Amino acid sequence: MTGSPLEARGLAHVGIAVPSIEAALPAWESLGFKLQERETIPAMGLKIAFLEAGGTLLELLEPTAADTPVGKFLAARKGGIHHLAFLVPDLEAALREAEARGLERIDRTPRDGSHGLRIAFLHPRSFHGVLVELCQRRSA
């Protein structure tokens, strides 16, 4: 798959659903993670905190309402890893290739995400239960 637009160019972050960012921070900080940035995305119903340690980025996801995707995830699973996010060089091309390979897309087109990224999700059914987020850095 070398050179494929769908080929991951690295792990962007691990998304972790939490009922409260404030309550979750001390545990992650005890492992050496440092808070880098906070963001609220009303359109997604999310409060987000990015933490970094040793080049690894975690994205803590707190829903602003119970009827949001992360709110529903928390209701069903009480928290935990929500998704794995991978960088791709060309998000539109990656989505076309995903479809050509028979992978189920949640997002038909890319959308703006947090942390300066354009994003699109692939369904967990295609990855044996793992929600996959494809990310591309926004052009400056």
Burial of 98 (0-12, 13-18, 19+ CB in 10 A): buried
Looking at residue 82, what is its pLDDT? 95
pLDDT band at residue 138 using 50, 70 and 90 as cut-offs: confident
Predicted structure pTM score: 0.90
Mean pLDDT of the chain, nearest integer: 93
Q: Each residue of 6-56: pLDDT tens digit?
A: 999 999 999 999 999 999 999 999 999 999 999 999 999 999 999 999 999
What is the C-alpha separation between 129 and 140, in angstroms, rounded?
34
Looking at residue 68, what is its pLDDT? 95
Give the SS3 label for residue 24: helix
Looking at residue 115, what is its pLDDT? 81
Mean pLDDT, to the nearest integer, of 57-82? 95
Q: Which amino acid is at 122?
A: L
